[in-house]
Amino acid sequence: YAALLTKTNRISRIFNAGKHSAKRPSFISPRSQLIICTGLVFIQMLINGVWILLSPARAIHHYPTREDNFLVCSSYIDASYMIAFSYPIFLIVVCTVYAVLTRKIPEAFNESKHI
């Protein structure tokens, strides 16, 4: 989702800057887009790395009833696996906001076809 956010953000900034002035917006080159996307992916890797270090996965026995015994991952019990999903969900929400903001850009703009 980092690549989609970077692309949508770029398109939004290009058209918003075009409304105000003829000056080219900063950080729209392919190299800067790769750096931004790499930074967003690194944040996700950092969050997951810290989570794995603080709460390593281990198999435990889970007894939902007296008769049942399940061997499950420890994060299944306390729902800490949602830590891994929180950042992508945040990226999806921000991408959705940008998609709504950029929905009226010209269809002839090639990069806007897949938003």
18-62 pLDDT per residue, tens: 677 777 788 888 899 999 999 999 999 999 999 889 888 888 898
Task: Give the 3-state secondary structure of residue 115.
Answer: coil
- What pTM does this model have? 0.77
With 80 as the cut, is the pLDDT of residue 76 above it? no
pLDDT reading at 111 higher than 80: no
CB 37 within 8 A of CB 1: no
Among residues 23, 43, 50, 54, the alpha carbon closest in space to that of 94 is found at 43
Nearest Cα neighbor of 9 from 87, 113, 94, 110 is 94
